[in-house]
Structure 1
């Protein structure tokens, strides 16, 4: 048990340091967004929202990240279901992220996750870190 707690703390510290470095590189004069979702089908309206914001904001549009978590996270391994979402996300510069805690809790094989989806070990922590950097956030 002590090993598990120590390992978890170590992973969170490493994640925190990595996220801070990346977030500090972002232009604070841009509008940045993060969405936490529990359902893969919600990716379609989320990506359409990113597209509309990009068209509306032009050069003010910054980073747009979507964190997928929860009991249905295993759906991200379905290449048929995810293919179109991944293609649209890349087209509109939307980053798709998977919550590592959810992957572990619901026993999702990480090797089956498409390479275009980045894993963050703690999706909720990542969301809060981005909010601390000025990201606008919504959870669905």
Structure 2
């Protein structure tokens, strides 16, 4: 719990990489989830769908960034890739941290085109938070 608080504070103090380059509407409700567990994709996707219903015209962007050791499972987990395709169809944008890929020896070219690679997922989290994204770290 202490680590989540520290990461959240760090995210608030800093900014983001690839997702930051994307245009977002600051007058909409924009969401970001930073996760270290690919098993969280399904519940995050269900949450995004429900928030889109609840927010209606106020719903903006929903980004999910995976960082850490969990990136090793992205290449091997067929269920994850199936869910990632469904998530993309529901306008949930999935990113994987390039620093994490590098740390675990994964070539970004091996990542499915469904998932975008961002250079630094933590930096991206900070930058999106500064842009007003509602942020959760799980």
TM-score range for the pair, normalised by the shorter chain length = 0.7 to 0.9
For residues 38 and 53 of structure 2, what CA distance do their matches in structure 1 show?
24
Pair member with larger Rg:
1
Measure, in 1, the Cα distance between the counterparts of 2:83 and 2:67. Answer: 16
CA contact (8 A) 1:69 1:123 kept: yes
Q: 1:21–1:112: structure 2 CA closer, same or farther, 3 Å change rule?
A: closer
Contiguous gaps of at least 5 residues in structure 1? 1-14
Structure 1 partner of 2:41: 43
Are the counterparts in 2 of residues 79 and 114 from structure 1 also a CA contact under 8 Å?
Answer: no
Alignment of 1:18-97 (within 5 A): 20-22=20-22, 25-78=23-76, 80-97=78-95
Bigger relative CO (Cα 8 Å, ≥ 6 apart): 2
Q: Give me the CA root mean square deviation.
A: 1.6
Post-superposition offset of 1:83: 2.6
**Count of residue pairs the alignment pairs up:** 123
Relative to total residues, which structure has the larger helix share, 1 or 2?
Answer: 1
TM normalised by structure 2 equals 0.82
